[in-house]
Each structure stands twice: as C-alpha cells, then as structure tokens.
Amino acid sequence: MAGALIRRAGQISVALVVLSFAAYVAIGLMPGDPIDLAIAADPRMTALDAERLRALHGLDRPIIARWWDWFLRAAAGDFGHSRLYARPVAAVLGPALGGTLVLVGIALLIAVGGGVALGMLAALRPRSGPAVEALSVLAQAVPAFWLGILLIIGFALGLGWLPAGGVPDQGQAAWRFLVLPVATLAIANLAAYARHTTAAMVGVLSAPWIVTARARGAGEARIAWTHALPNAAVPILQVAALDVGALMGGALVTETVFARPGMGRLLYEAVMGNDHPLALAAVLLVALATMLATAAADAAQRAIDPRIDG
C-alpha cells in the first residue's frame, strides 16, 4: 500500500506539472492580455508605453520561460495577484474552495447514499427495478438549472420554507441556505449511482460465492451487506472519485442559480474577465482535487479488495 501511494504521489506531481504548462499556454493564448486591457482602459497610453509594460511584466519573453518563472513562484506558494479582486490569488481561492467543498461534499454523500440504496433495492427486489429505472432516467433527464429553479419556486417563493439563494448573514442558520443547492446537485447525480449499483449488484449476486452463501443458510440482508456490496463498491468508488472534480468545476450552474460563491463561478469569472493568474490557479486546484479523490478511491478499493494490483 505504501509503495502504491508513493507511486501515485509521483504520478500526481508529474501530471500537475504537465497540466500547468498546458493550461498556462492555453490561457496565455486567450485574446486580451492585461496590457491590452490597460490600453483599452486608458486611451492616452501609447504603443511605446505598452511595450515598456510588456517588458516590465515579462510578457515579451518566450512562453516557456514565463511558465517556468510562474511555476517556481507557485511551488513556493505565490500564485500571483488577481486583477478582478485586487487581492492575492490564494486569498481569493480559499473562501471559494471552502464553499464548494461543503456544497459538493454534502451533495455527494446524499447522492451516493441514496443511489446505492435505490440500486440495491432494484437488484434485490426485481419488481422494483422498473420504478428505480424510471426515477433514474427522470433525474438524469432534468437539467440542473431547471430543477434548481423549480425548487426555488416551490420551496422558497411558494411555501416560503427556505431562502431562494445567497449566503447567510450573521445570525442566520447556514444549513437553510444549503438545502436547495445540495438537493439540486444530489438529485442530478443520484441516478448515476443507482444505475451503477444495480448493474454491479446484479453481476455480484449471481457469483458462485453468493450461491454458496445462500446454500449455507445466510440471510438476504447478510448476503447483500457483507458479501455483495463490498464487491460491488469498487466501480462505485471510482465514479464517486471522478464526480468530485466534475462537481467542483461543474457546479457553476447551481452556484449561479442560487447565487452562491464557489469554484465554479470563480473559474467562470476568471476566464471571462481575463484574470489569467486566478484562472490558472483555479484550473489546477480542480485538477488536484480530482486526482486526490481518485487516489483516495484507489486506496479504498485496495482495502476492500486486496486482489487489486497496486
């Protein structure tokens, strides 16, 4: 296990270096660098002034040299200064990351728990399979923004039980502002776990050791929880790990509908606002979260099934 973790740490480090260069080049090729924006904001600036500013900020150097300088600073913890927020990038990323982790973490727990429960029900009770499949198809077919708007109309505007969005002020209960966005993300992702669990459980329940356990008189509950679910959990863990990164960067729609600050909105604003240091750091942070979640899922899979090669 220790050797596998060391190898995975090396793979993550190499992947981050390669990804940082690719992202730096891609973001650097976007139209409208900071000097162009400064020229547009100040008509009195001449071409000579722009040339001096590019030299001052190193923008006249080859892109590889510029990336290497940025990489060395980032390795030391300096990700630059955000143009949009007029603050260090690290100070901007911290609150956004915290808000998204809370939202994504709770939604993922609910989606995995509910999806696994529905999938086990469909596998153990075949008569309930069509109903679970219908719910899964419906949940996957409903767009997240439309579901969020329906929840706002029903529970915030109609019944008045919950706030329509935003963040809590001092003295307000934070959980009330989380219910609707968490429900939106959880329902949208619950269907995938239900279908994966059903497929995995159906395959495992027909395995020879399950037949042997039944022949020895083991109850269905023990067979499901002790014998079947641990073996069916391996692919489910991998899907959950990939969902961490997808939700962190892809929660833009939910965060926009409910006016919540987070990584999705921050990344969108950084790209649209040509805030290159902030966009680059946000992309790498989402990638790092995905790779760490995948590494954690691999470790959990090896703990569940020691036959998996490290």
Does residue 308 belong to any structural domain of this protein? no
* DSSP helix/strand/coil, 117: helix
Residue 168 DSSP label: P
Confidence of residue 23 (pLDDT cuts 50, 70, 90): confident
CATH code for the domain of 294: 1.10.3720.10
Rounded to the nearest angstrom, the gap between the alpha carbon of residue 108 and the centroid of all alpha carbons in its chain is 10
* DSSP helix/strand/coil, 142: coil
Assess whether 44 and 182 both reside in one domain.
no
Confidence of residue 231 (pLDDT cuts 50, 70, 90): confident
Assess whether 81 and 133 both reside in one domain.
no
Assess whether 142 and 161 both reside in one domain.
yes
Confidence of residue 55 (pLDDT cuts 50, 70, 90): low
Assess whether 133 and 169 both reside in one domain.
yes
Does residue 264 belong to any structural domain of this protein? yes
C-alpha 180/C-alpha 166 separation (Å) is 11
pLDDT at 134: 76
Assess whether 7 and 112 both reside in one domain.
no
Range of the domain at 68: 2-89
Assess whether 70 and 109 both reside in one domain.
no
C-alpha 81/C-alpha 92 separation (Å) is 9
- Tokens 């547009």 appear where? 40
Does residue 310 belong to any structural domain of this protein? no
pLDDT tens digits for 144-154? 777 888 888 88
pLDDT at 245: 66
pLDDT tens digits for 173-194? 777 888 888 888 888 778 778 8
